[in-house]
Chains A and B, each alone.
Chain A
């Protein structure tokens, strides 16, 4: 078994009386691709934000490479965050910067890398997502799929230990989803550790080594994609997975199978 990279124990998050999730524990190991699915409003996005310390969990602990990052004395939050890559549903590129500068800014301002070195690194990352020819374009001049690939490059440039994806294809036109999924599949093949919230069941069945089904702020069931699709413990899991597989990614496993 490989090393755990990101571990969460008993995370709870509430807004007022509204419980977003309660006592969530999970462990992401080196080279894992874990897909989280579940109905909307189940707290999946909030969970990713808590793991990245963008939102503070009410209770529970998080470890990154064995160091507890929820312990305020361990390290600065900013330092932890750069080691956890995050990709958002609506891309959130910096609109006033070119694709290249979007990827570079973390290198020059956070890692204090010299400009030339940062530029080379940023070009490499844009190559990785197949967008080096768009380096000088502004986000407003790119398609949604291209914007999301730049956003992935921006996160990768920081050389994160783990990448969190929050419904990375949900805001895309159907014909643009494929290019983003292709980049994510390639990352998985390269051994990137990934935690992905998505409804792309084709991607999940093909790439994920583990799936988590979340509902009403709790992990209802987890296992391999085959476990959850073919031998779920709960009827509810089967119902939900097959419903969204039908809506979204049903074709994908056949194409690649």
Chain B
């Protein structure tokens, strides 16, 4: 993970801020983290006050500072861009949060206990935010997580080079210090599990199980080693870095896809010692959904970009992947997403050799969420919610994060967690 700002660098950047009367950055944050307020506080050297603003409004303020696509959110409307370039809001936010960690300033306090217990299913950013908000309001918040640690995508999906586990551990400690309890290796998957929670005295349940299911390419030959989905690879790279390094040193890797997950996988593979890592994407560089920062990071890492190229099948020999059969594409008219549709070009088929192919072409909620009978499941296996993240008209069930939105960004999960906690507080608070 790169070094953040020093104090003087942060103050210098903050001094570029125009301290707008009606700051567009504030409106750009889904979690209402109030960048206009925390930058002003930093500017006037009230750094603890700035940390308080961030953490009170966004318990995941440290992680968001690092992983947020700020160019599309807070920094998008930055007035300073009218003079030169937008304020580096993410870096400032990270500096402030880290400052509080460094000096041991804990701005949050648990609320006066109200005796009401709420179960949170899933310890990703949505679940963690909901739990923390409830703990601040005096609720007993217990997080049930089927994996062995908290954080969800932030724990396993974001590579170390973007956010280290040491950094993220501080954020989890902030949450734990509010009295949030965790039950790891404890899946809550069926309606019976939920009913039992309610019988055990949990007055409400917030479901935030995320979107971990990887979309696969629909091709004829998939059965062989050396084909892996993005999440499986990213989890391995994070949990078993030595094994992955041993496996990839000198290897050729193809990453299929053009989003941030593809960039993360490609850079992780490159950093693990792969000789050549190629991102294979069917449209143009500009149309890749990955954020400009992550695309640049991949370029800087030496990742190759094989654009306007569509895999049509994999090549397998002795039950092992040896490459991808691809064709060239050309862009035609715009599709519903406003991007130009790729069309395969005839007589262009060729093989790209690979020791490992990583598919990073989309994530969605796991269909197993259908086992929760009380929920309504919509398109893309997404849980349907109404006002206040309410997921059932009969039962006190709430849902949020990627399980509701489909694969999205952390700060939107934070927003959902806050909204659900607020609704639960209104309904059940004493």
| A, B co-complexed | no
Give the interface of A toward B (CB within 8 A).
Answer: none
